[in-house]
Structure 1
Amino acid sequence: MDKLKKYAFPLIIALISSAIFYLSPSLSQTVRPHSPLTQHFVEARVVEIESQQLKPDPQVPSIMTGRQIFSAEILQGEEQGKQVRVTNPLSRQHNVYVKAGDHFIMLVRLKNGEPYYWAYNHKRSPAIYAMLALFLLLLIGFGKQQGLNSIVSLYFTAALIIGVLIPAIFAGWNPILVTIVLIAIKIVVNYILVCGYNTKSLCAMFGTLLGVVAAGLCSQLFGELAHLSGIYLDKGEDVIYLTTAHPIQVRWLMFTAIMISALGAVMDVAISIASCYHELRQTDATLTPKQLRHASMNVGRDIMGTMTNTLILAIAGGSLTTMMMVWGFEMPVIQFINTPLVAMAMVHALAGSIGIVLTIPLTAWLASWLFSSNR
């Protein structure tokens, strides 16, 4: 019975997540953009290289450029088993260099009424699935019950974002309201899975929600002061052309993006402060709420430096090639800091860091209020 209670909540959340993934495609079909192109993707295998004219790229010698012509066997779909002839141009941007026996992803498109076959991409999924399996095994091996709960939490997060948030945005709903509601649900479920339902987790829940909302508001406010909007996000302009019956509110996507990206770091900070307050209170019952609050905030100051670095370095890592371009062209500060891409990255990094910093005192104050003896 105890084991059943122990696994009941994770099982319920896993079932809810699966239901979202199962029902979302049919429920959101009316708001999904429809491509005018008649195309599909299948797995294929290179049977024989018929001819190739290749040479190493002069700037990147590890990349072969030129053209290949080969025969390939389709391994999926209605044309499974059919052999087709593929012309495969290779460049720096599109470089699917294949050898006999290689598996790849083939694009099949109707062109002037005739099927056109193109080597779209390497088959990368086995490496990704192997890495995912390693990650899950490590989580369960080291974390055991907590590791399993973490997997369920990640699964639930994916269900909320893919199955609820994205369809809701395409349906024309306000991204700010939808994001706050979904983030609040995610926070509650995550802390119950990881910490159980108690005063410590309740304190961390409120602290996290306040912190990520503060980050989102800062991102939106200072982004608009800097004349930025969701259109400057990666693929932000392309999203506009995915037309549906309901216009996408691109303006508010900055708020959504920063809340999602800052959530993990803010959750770490909030639970650290709440746990610190709880442990100090358990260790020494003579400490007053004010002393516990100050001690927790002192710990938070140590955490603050590493967590803000974590967030900023993650964004910097994603913008590495942009920084290389800035350095390579010797751009003056007045030029690069006013570039939309750079300004957007800086607003995101700073807004997330502000959310982390504010989470520390907010969670400490919430802890002193929620843990007080008369609550």
Structure 2
Amino acid sequence: MIKKYSFPMMIALISTAIFCFSPGLSESARPKSPLIQHFVEAKVTRMESQEVAPDPHVPSMMTGRQIFLAEILEGAEKGKEVRISNPLSRQHNVYVQEGDHFIMMVRVKKNGQSYYWAFNHKRSPAIYTMLAVFLLLLLSFGKKEGLNSVISLYFTAALVVGVLIPAIFAGWNPMLLTIILMGIKIVVNYILVCGYNHKSVCAMIGTLLGVIAAGAFSQVFGEMAHLSGIYLDKGEDIVYLTTAHPIQIRWLMFTAIMISALGAVMDVAISISSSYHELSQADPNLTPAQLRKASMNIGRDIMGTMTNTLILAIAGSSLTTMMMVWGFDMPVIQFLNTPLVTMAVVHALAGSIGIVLTIPLTAWACSVFFPVKVRAEESC
């Protein structure tokens, strides 16, 4: 039993170690803010006054102003009651009532006085509950494979949050760093899900080559369209973060598309590798060339759904942008040359190109690395 779970346990421990030690090791790379502020949970104790009304364009949203007393529930000022003026608008709308918990920002001014602001609703309970439901379903139906999937997600979060982001702020090249980290992620994921065998090795090769191709096409055509990482969401804000090392924002497009396309590319790669394996088991007389051709035929059916999945995911995240374009009756020439639209199109097409190329790349890897007679016990 211990041997069966030794690798997942090791990955879980490594991930935890990254989360524990990364903040201390990367503190020197963290941008220094000129503001002295922190965030605490607070509770509305008494509503003094409020002049609010439904927004004429969004009736479900209340706008106006509230003045209330709130008790700080954590931190150095725990138990302290403060008075808060809470303006409500469409941009910032933290509408509260007596007894509500919210996130308070405490900003210390130069004269030593503190300023208190209703910064956000407390949304974490909804996130934690949804996460618990997801994990419960995953573990209930997936059992060992579900547990390995959770550990794989945990490891991915550790690499991105604990390694990739601090290293980018430390001035490392995002392109090379992303290839290395995604390569590690791919190897660990396939070993957790499929074990270490010919099928998983071929899927690893196809996945890594596919996501590198997606990132390369995104970078090349993005620069051809005069785009860079600065046009990513919050990209311009990152430029103004003060660090000891300048962020190589030029390569962030490559990083973004590699991360966003990885899941879809992994699905395609393991599907092709599994198809090759099953076909070789069904008919051991098939040659590598015949198996490669058959796997490619299967890949053509997968191609349409997976490219749609990626493009629709990006379209969904850009829904409000497309609504604005439609609402303003924007001409096509203006629409296609808008940076946000061009960025979304380049990402969608680069990711789709990566998916398409993953099919022949994985089939080629299978024909090279699979033995003529694959062991029947290799299954996923």
Same topology, TM > 0.5: yes
Partner residue of 1:23 out of 21, 24, 30 = 21
Which residue in the other structure is 2:245 paired with? Answer: 246
Pairwise CA distance, 1:372: 3.3
Which residue in the other structure is 1:200 paired with? Answer: 199
Alignment of 1:74-153 (within 5 A): 74-111=72-109, 112-153=111-152
Which residue in the other structure is 1:343 paired with? Answer: 342
Pairwise CA distance, 1:373: 2.8
SS in 2 for 1:234: coil
Which residue in the other structure is 1:53 paired with? Answer: 51
Identical columns (%): 77
Counterparts of 1:115 and 1:167, CA distance in 2: 30
Counterparts of 1:10 and 1:327, CA distance in 2: 49
1:262 paired to 2:261: yes
Structure 2 spans left out of the alignment, 5+ residues: 375-380
Alignment of 1:325-336 (within 5 A): 325-336=324-335
Counterparts of 1:42 and 1:215, CA distance in 2: 41
Counterparts of 2:319 and 2:373, CA distance in 1: 52
Deviations 1:146-176 (A, max 9, x none): 0000000000000000010011101111111
Q: Is the 8 A contact 1:289 1:372 kept in 2?
A: no
Give the residue type in structure 2 aligned to 1:52.
Answer: Q
Which residue in the other structure is 2:322 paired with? Answer: 323
Deviations 1:31-89 (A, max 9, x none): 11111101110000000111000111111111110000011111000111111111100
Alignment of 1:293-332 (within 5 A): 293-332=292-331
Pairwise CA distance, 1:113: 2.9
Counterparts of 2:119 and 2:145, CA distance in 1: 40
Give the residue type in structure 2 aligned to 1:224.
Answer: E
SS in 1 for 2:2: helix
SS in 2 for 1:81: coil
Deviations 1:96-148 (A, max 9, x none): 00010000000111234321111000000000000000000111000000000
Which residue in the other structure is 1:6 paired with? Answer: 4
TM-score, length-normalised on structure 2? 0.97
Moved beyond 2 Å, runs of 4+:
372-375
Pairwise CA distance, 1:291: 1.5
Partner residue of 1:32 out of 27, 30, 33 = 30
Counterparts of 1:116 and 1:170, CA distance in 2: 30
Pairwise CA distance, 1:243: 1.5
SS in 2 for 1:117: strand
Counterparts of 1:4 and 1:287, CA distance in 2: 39
SS in 1 for 2:68: strand
SS in 2 for 1:227: coil
Which residue in the other structure is 1:164 paired with? Answer: 163
The alignment yields a C-alpha RMSD, in angstroms, of: 1.0
Counterparts of 1:75 and 1:34, CA distance in 2: 27
Counterparts of 2:84 and 2:298, CA distance in 1: 61
SS in 2 for 1:4: coil
Give the residue type in structure 2 aligned to 1:314.
Answer: A
Which residue in the other structure is 1:214 paired with? Answer: 213
TM-score, length-normalised on structure 1? 0.98
Q: Is the 8 A contact 2:284 2:373 kept in 1?
A: no
Q: Is the 8 A contact 1:140 1:147 kept in 2?
A: yes
Counterparts of 2:364 and 2:246, CA distance in 1: 41
Give the residue type in structure 2 aligned to 1:206.
Answer: I
Structure 1 spans left out of the alignment, 5+ residues: none
SS in 1 for 2:43: strand
Pairwise CA distance, 1:374: 9.0
Which residue in the other structure is 1:231 paired with? Answer: 230
